[in-house]
């Protein structure tokens, strides 16, 4: 029987964690009721996202040391996150990705760029101390949450940032970096990238093996997104600590896309008590979306070559805008929930989380999950699949906190 919405919400909010009362079965509610529940849930529960590319977007907009501080605090129509949209969606701890494009591996300056991006994140917290705060541990995120502050933890994306110096791992740990993605678009000095066919090292390099051990020693989380399968299994063999894919989805839904994690890798991550943080981009969650996206890119490239134009030409811009509006593929937020459900059913609810890649996947995000204000839509989809309040808490932060604390505990031994 359909329940009256205010009564249902009141019932759920009255349930204490210590009480043994039967929890409301969200799957029996209407879509409207579930969404209201999801909004209340995200407002009252810590929500951690494993990966957002805001720092590099700020950098591209000229917000460097000599520029103005990026206006993160007011609502914007650019990018996927700002303070207002984060609060609307219940986001409490978006990991700021200190992203180092692979080009810096050849031309140099990777460490300097990492330092600049870290400084930019620090400036956000310094500029708005009543709304924002850095965070270097689960305890600090919890403390910030209790004060109503949005936490800005940081992770490096692409170990090229440490260049060829092992001591730079500790340097960045001391600056607040709490995870490091080992590669990005190209093989680097640490190991091989899933986007590169060169297989330079055939997995982890000897230097990469020392980097993994050093990360274990310091208590820095190893992020296995972006690496080849061979590199992953080298990491899994060497690391004493749990490992995390901070922004990857299940390869089951995108056959042949090595950037996503295979069933075998998912099982190994769980075996090591780590987790997969499901990413949101359409090409990561849906094969048909990916194929159509590839087809569109090929068509546009061919059209520009035939007409002697490039993307900067006004005629090309107009054509691309019209063509994409008529041919753009779509995918629904429910597909992201399907990936979460797939991992949870395979290895258990303790090994899955959220890693949007907001500000890093352009306009490929699913309907209903376009920016940080829309997390309740995803939570509502999980409720529809039968996930309980306890399950959702694990997905949103408890799993990641468990892994993070375990990594730090191993470092202290």
172-197 per-residue burial string, b: 16 or more CB within 10 A, e: under 16: bbebbbbbbbbbbebbbbbbbbbbbe
For residue range 237-276, what is the model confidence (pLDDT) as tens digits?
A: 999 999 999 999 999 999 999 999 999 999 999 999 999 9
Question: What is the C-alpha separation between 365 and 281, in angstroms, rounded?
Answer: 5
Q: Does 21 have pLDDT greater than 80?
A: no
Higher pLDDT, 344 or 6: 344
pLDDT at site 24 = 85
- In CATH, the architecture of 29-286+332-412 is Alpha-Beta Barrel (3.20)
Using only C-alpha atoms, the chain has a radius of gyration, in whole angstroms, of 21
User: What is the band of 213 on the pLDDT scale with cuts at 50, 70, 90?
Assistant: very high
For residue range 25-59, what is the model confidence (pLDDT) as tens digits?
A: 998 999 999 999 999 999 999 999 999 999 999 99
Per DSSP (E only), the strands in 58-170 are: 93-99, 132-134, 150-152, 154-157
Question: What is the C-alpha separation between 346 and 251, in angstroms, rounded?
Answer: 13
Starting at the edge strand that comes first in sequence, how are the strands of the sheet with 243-245 ordered? 48-52, 93-99, 154-157, 177-181, 221-223, 243-245, 275-278, 352-354
In the chain, domain spans = 29-286+332-412
DSSP state of 69: P
DSSP state of 64: S
Q: Does 350 have pLDDT greater than 80?
A: yes
> Residue 95 is encoded by which pair of tokens?
């990991």
Which residues, in sequence order, are bridge partners of residue 250? 261
Cβ atoms of residues 155 and 96 within 8 Å: yes
């Amino acid at each position: 029987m359909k329940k009256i919405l205010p009564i249902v919400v009141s019932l759920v909010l009255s349930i204490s964690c210590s009480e043994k009362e039967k929890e409301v079965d969200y799957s029996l509610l209407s879509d409207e009721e579930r969404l209201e529940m999801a909004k209340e849930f995200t407002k009252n529960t810590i929500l951690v996202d494993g990966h957002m590319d805001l720092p590099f977007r700020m950098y591209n907009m000229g917000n460097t040391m000599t520029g103005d501080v990026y206006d993160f605090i007011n609502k914007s129509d650019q990018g996927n996150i700002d303070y207002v949209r984060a609060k609307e969606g219940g986001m409490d701890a978006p990991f700021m990705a200190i992203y180092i494009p692979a080009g810096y591996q050849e031309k140099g300056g990777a460490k300097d760029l990492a330092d600049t991006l870290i400084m930019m994140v620090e400036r956000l917290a310094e500029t708005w101390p009543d709304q924002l705060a850095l965070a270097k541990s689960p305890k600090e995120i919890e403390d910030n949450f209790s004060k109503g502050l949005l936490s800005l933890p940081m992770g490096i994306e692409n170990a090229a940032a440490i260049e060829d110096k092992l001591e730079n791992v500790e340097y960045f740990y001391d600056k607040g970096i709490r995870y490091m993605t080992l590669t990005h678009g190209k093989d680097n000095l640490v190991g091989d990238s899933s986007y590169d066919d060169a297989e330079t090292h055939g997995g982890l390099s000897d230097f990469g093996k020392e980097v993994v051990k050093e990360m274990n020693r310091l208590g820095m989380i190893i992020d296995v997104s972006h690496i080849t399968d061979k590199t992953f299994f080298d990491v899994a063999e060497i690391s004493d600590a749990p490992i995390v894919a901070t922004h990857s989805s299940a390869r089951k839904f995108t056959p042949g896309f090595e950037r996503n994690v295979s069933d075998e890798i998912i099982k190994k991550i769980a075996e090591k008590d780590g987790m997969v943080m499901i990413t949101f981009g359409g090409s990561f969650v849906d094969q048909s979306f990916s194929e159509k996206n590839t087809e569109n890119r090929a068509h546009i490239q061919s059209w520009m070559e035939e007409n002697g134009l490039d993307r900067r030409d006004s005629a090309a811009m107009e054509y691309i805008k019209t063509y994409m509006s008529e041919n753009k593929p779509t995918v629904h937020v429910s597909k992201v929930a399907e990936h979460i459900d797939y991992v949870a059913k395979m290895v258990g609810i303790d090994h899955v989380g959220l890693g949007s890649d907001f500000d890093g996947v352009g306009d490929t995000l699913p309907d209903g999950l376009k920016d940080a204000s829309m997390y309740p839509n995803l939570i509502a989809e999980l409720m529809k699949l039968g996930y309980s309040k306890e399950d959702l808490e694990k997905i949103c932060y408890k799993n990641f906190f468990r892994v993070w604390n375990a990594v730090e505990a191993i470092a202290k031994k």
